[in-house]
Amino acid sequence: MQKVISKDGTSIAFDQTGSGQPVILVAGAFSFRKYPGSLELAALLSRDFTVINYDRRGRGDSGDTKPYSVAREIEDLEALINHVGGSTYMWGLSSGAVLALKAAASGLNVKKLAVYDPPFGVDNTAILPPSDFVKHLTELIARDQRGDAVRYFMTKGMGAPGFVMVMMRLMPGVWPRLTAVANTLPYDAMMLDGHITGQPLKAQDWAGVTMPTLVTAGSKSTTSLRHAAQQLAEILPNAQHRLLEGLSHTNIDMKVIAPVLKEFFS
């Protein structure tokens, strides 16, 4: 494990493996650098690239300086980019895809960007969270009601049916892993605030994303996620869109993802 210090003094933990052009992996909600999928993707890409697999702030071994803002997470990525020499390729998953897009739009030196299933809500197929979604999540975490925050985020934010919550509680090791990072769920909610409205994406919000960009979605992801990926690719000036067969938002096979990323980044 290594660490960089972000602009506000927060320590950001990461693992660096492999050699070649750098690729930073930006995880989604509930994920962190020791998450099985993150470890697998890092191992697969390390055969061809220098891979930076990091803990977003508030997760794993990274710090969590208050107050939180999306801008601070972009500064965390800036510190990592400086560490690898000032430029990078970047991969973002789910809410991590939105963070990667925001970082690229802010002007960070991202040479190529690849995202999977950015959870925008762009039409009437989207599940729209309550208007007080961020506020209520923040209140649950302030009361240390981590289990309730996980249930609320997944049912009201992601549209997961109630029986899925029951199944997750019965799966060995799953529920503790989710609740361990529940304190960062308000951060993911803030990351998506204003982008899950059922309205089309605004091209001007992403005008800075001019680098070659690969927008992917799972062929079995929800209609809303597939529509969001397609619309994002259409409004970006230098993007391509690709559906990955057999994958969904909850069934992500890194052995399918890795060769797609290798081809695009190479």
Model pLDDT, residue 251: 86
- DSSP state letter for 196: B
Task: Provide the residue type at 162 as one letter.
Answer: G
| Interstrand relation of 22-26 and 213-218 (parallel, antiparallel or unpaired) | unpaired
Contact 108, 77 (CB under 8 A): yes
Model pLDDT, residue 228: 96
Model pLDDT, residue 112: 98
Whole-Å CA distances, 26 to 93, 164, 186, 214, 234: 6, 25, 17, 15, 23
How many whole angstroms separate alpha carbon 204 and alpha carbon 156? 28
Contact 243, 217 (CB under 8 A): yes
* pTM exceeds 0.85: yes
The DSSP string of 35-78 is SHHHHHHHHHHTTTSEEEEEPPTTSTT---PSSP-HHHHHHHHH
The CA angle 234-237-240, to the nearest 5 degrees, is 55
How many whole angstroms separate alpha carbon 2 and alpha carbon 14? 5
Model pLDDT, residue 34: 93
Domains of the chain in sequence order: 2-121+201-265 (3.40.50.1820), 133-191 (no CATH)
Contact 94, 116 (CB under 8 A): yes
Kindly tell me the burial class for residue 87, based on how many C-beta atoms sit within 10 Å of its own C-beta (0-12, 13-18, 19 or more).
middle
Model pLDDT, residue 174: 73
Model pLDDT, residue 156: 85
Phi and psi of 137, rounded to 5°?
Answer: -60, -45
Q: How do the pLDDT tens digits run along the chain, 266 residues long?
A: 999 999 999 999 999 999 999 999 999 999 999 999 999 999 999 999 999 999 999 999 999 999 999 999 999 999 999 999 999 999 999 999 999 999 999 999 999 999 999 999 999 888 889 989 999 999 999 999 998 999 899 888 887 766 666 666 666 677 788 889 999 999 999 999 989 999 999 999 999 999 999 999 999 999 999 999 999 999 999 999 999 999 998 889 999 999 999 999 99
Phi and psi of 110, rounded to 5°?
Answer: -100, 115
Whole-Å CA distances, 166 to 64, 69, 135, 171: 30, 32, 25, 9
- DSSP state letter for 249: S
Contacts of 231 (CB under 8 A, 6+ apart): 120, 122, 200, 201
Model pLDDT, residue 93: 97
List the alpha helices (DSSP H) in 50-206: 70-83, 95-105, 133-142, 146-152, 162-170, 174-180, 185-192
